Amino acid sequence: MHCAESQIPPTRRRAGFTLVEVMMASTLLLVGFVGMIGAVTLSANGMDHARRETLAGQILAHEIDKIRLTSWSDISGLTANNTTLTIDSQFTGAVAASGATYVLTRNFTNPNPETNLREVNFTVTWTVKTSRTSGGQLVTFSYSRRASTYLGKYGLHLSYQRS
């Protein structure tokens, strides 16, 4: 008695993959590709956020450098209330490319007559609109970064940043 398998030539028995094996391999590849797409999307969002943070830091550093070049008589004459400033034109292209809306504000403390010091606080706030919706509204995220500097009549300048 011969079994049916012995009648099949040896070259045909091991010639290819079964349909189940192909389907399993395809499923595994599909899961891997979906995971990679998610990872790429997540890392791209992280890179966009890092670019916006860096741009905000550059705007703040630029404003601090500009105010340090201002004479003490001009600095002491500035008002202590919040002032919205225009972001310098050298950042126009970067701001437009970032996909966010930036607002720069400045706040002075009153000059201290004993120490001849003024504290200047700059805040950059930016808003990012996403394509996601919640309740029919586009979801937006707001971020801010602050930097402060102390300006002295006789040349003391100190600054620090907070995120």
- pLDDT of res. 123: 95
Residue 149 domain-assigned? yes
- Which pTM does this prediction carry? 0.73
Phi-psi region at 45: left, alpha or beta (left = phi > 0; alpha = psi -120 to 50)? alpha
| Spatial distance between the Cα atoms of 107 and 142, rounded to a whole number of angstroms | 20
Give the domain extent around 152. 16-162
User: Angle CA(88)–CA(90)–CA(93) in degrees, nearest 5?
Assistant: 110
What is the DSSP code string of 13-55?
HTSS--HHHHHHHHHHHHHHHHHHHHHHHHHHHHHHHHHHHHH
Number of domains the chain is built from = 1
Tokens of 58: 């550059």
Is 50 within the bounds of a domain? yes
| SS3 category, 119 | strand
Residue 4 lies in a domain: no
| Contact of 142 with 116, CB cutoff 8 Å | no
Tokens standing for residue 143: 């971020």
Residue 120 lies inside a defined structural domain of this protein: yes
> What tens digit of pLDDT does each residue of 96-141 get?
888 899 999 999 887 777 778 888 999 999 999 877 778 888 888 9
2 occurs within a structural domain: no
